[in-house]
Amino acid sequence: MFIEKLTITTQTNTIVREVNFCKGLNLIVGDDQQGSSNNIGKTTLIRCIDFCLSGKLGQLYADKEFKDSINQKVYEFLSKEQPIFTLIINDPQTNHKYKISRKIFINKEKLKSEDKIMINDISISGDFETELKRILFNSLAMKPSFRQLVPKFIRKDEQQISNVLKYLHATTTNTDYEKIHLFLFGFSDKHILQQKSELDQKLKSLHNTKTALSSRFSATDLKQILEITKAELEKLYISRDLFQLDEKYEEEEKELKILQLELIKIEKLISDTQLQKSLSVNKLNELQENIFDSDTNMLELLYKEAKLYINDLQKTFDEVVSFHNKMIKNESKYIESKIIDYRESIRNLSEKRSIYSQQYSELMKKLSRTGSLAEYTKLNEKIEKIAEKKGRDEKMLEEIVKLEEETTEIENYLLKIKKELNSNLEDFDKKLSIFNNSFSKYSNMLYGEKYLLSYDEKEDPIKFHIRNIDGNQGNGRKQSMIAAFDLAYVDFITSLNLTFPKFIAHDKIELIDIEKLKVLFNIANHINGQYIVPIIQDKIESILSEFESNVILTLSEKDKFFRI
């Protein structure tokens, strides 16, 4: 996949900027001979590409390094013109072009980007990242996500330009990176990756729920507490049975016991319902935060199996995925309705408890006036409180035990999946060696040292490493190695004939030594891909004449990116 063109137009179809890309090196040069090269939009081009690929709108006018820093002129331009950004991507294997458009608009005096994009002039609503992943990576798997993959190809923020492998936010887990790197380097059995991903997420969800339930006491704690509680209750029941009451109070005593039983039942129901409500709220939060993933890969397998038997299926797989996504939304709505039901049930039970409590209180007042019944009253109140606590603890223990059993089952299944994953690594190793051939060659051209990408299959999750890199290297050297890594990856894509992006965009390459830049530029002109870099003219003045034909855009104080 190559980038062919980026066009920015106003609402009146006036072209603000049109940039045509070429194969090999693509230079965006900031001409500092007319003044400062700051704030002229050198990096804006690659940010616009990222925006078209579902990136955040704020990157076009805000400086991420300085949270309060907003380019007011750019913000006003976007607000006034509400432009359309159009990116044309070409698949040379099929010669098919994809026109991706995204519009900016004003809503309640705030800049917004539409919740839909246009692909080949067709509106894609909702989960358009799924469609972008299908186009750019030939995949509909939920994990790794589209936006987890894009920063590998468009490195514009500090985390991305300073780290070869762990280029996402610092909170990204090793489990996520395992999926990302196995996917990027052609692990063949995507079904295993999808299964492992879903099981990991399910296990994480169970651990979170268990942590919430057992925040005070573990299952072992609760078992011991219940044993103590049962023994205490037995003693209290014996004391109450031996308690001598005047015959004239026997009716009141029977009524009192009936009320006690009803209150205990209601308390247990309230406790159970509150627990169910709490679990439902947790699950709803997980769905809304995309913690719990849907089984899209299983849908794909079922769909392919159905295609074997029914050649003229009326529904496309995209429609099946869309339906599946709607099912997740429906599940959220169902859980929301259940939460409302639980709240209503708790309210009704609480009202009923209030009525019984009032009756119980009045009867206790009546009995307590007799003097000798005061102790009996206190005894019943103590039994009632302990019995209520026992019911809550029993319910909590039941839920924790159920979670532990489910967790053990998933952990055992994960072990089988991991064994199956390891058995597929032989083919993966062959693919990785193809990448390392280019990576070691380019790193040797830069520094006379050969670097390689490796991993330890015994680690869980599998962790990837760059070997022979000194952790104390300067930024310039590290960034040049990142460039070598990404350029080698383009060779890798070409060798395996993968339908992946063959474009790389890097910001802040000024830190790289000019001699190393020349090496990288020459490598870029010999790969079957695109290396897109913004740079100050003064930095490459001595070699610019050699790469004049690679300049796709020149910016200056008089001609800024948005021409404002």
Q: What is the pLDDT of residue 195?
A: 72
Helix (H, G, I), strand (E, B) or coil at 186: coil
Higher pLDDT, 508 or 310: 508
**CA–CA dist 520, 512 (Å, integer):** 10
**CA–CA dist 328, 337 (Å, integer):** 14
Domain locations in the chain? 2-188+424-555, 206-423
Judge contact between 104 and 83, C-beta under 8 A. yes
Among 78-82, 225-229, 267-271, the minimum mean pLDDT is found in 267-271
Query: The whole model's pTM is what?
Result: 0.65
Q: What is the pLDDT of residue 554?
A: 94
DSSP letters of 206-256?
A: HHHHHHHHTSS--HHHHHHHHHHHHHHHHHHHHHHHH----GGGHHHHHHH
For 293, which DSSP code? P
Q: Taking each helix axis as running N to C, give the angle between helix 374-423 and helix 317-368, from 0 to 180 degrees, rounded to the nearest 10.
A: 160
Higher pLDDT, 472 or 208: 208
Among 199-203, 254-258, 307-311, 440-444, the minimum mean pLDDT is found in 307-311
SS in 3 state form for 77-121? HHHHHCCEEEEEEEECCCCEEEEEEEEEEEECCEEEECCEEEECC
Among 312-326, 458-472, 480-494, the minimum mean pLDDT is found in 312-326
Average pLDDT over residues 70-74: 89
322 pLDDT above the threshold of 70? no
pLDDT band at 189 (very low <50, low <70, confident <90, very high): low
CATH class of residue range 2-188+424-555: alpha beta
Strand partners, 453: 466
**CA–CA dist 480, 514 (Å, integer):** 11
Burial 78-99 (b: 16+ CB within 10 A, else e): beebebbbbbbbbbeeeeeebb
Q: What is the pLDDT of residue 82?
A: 92
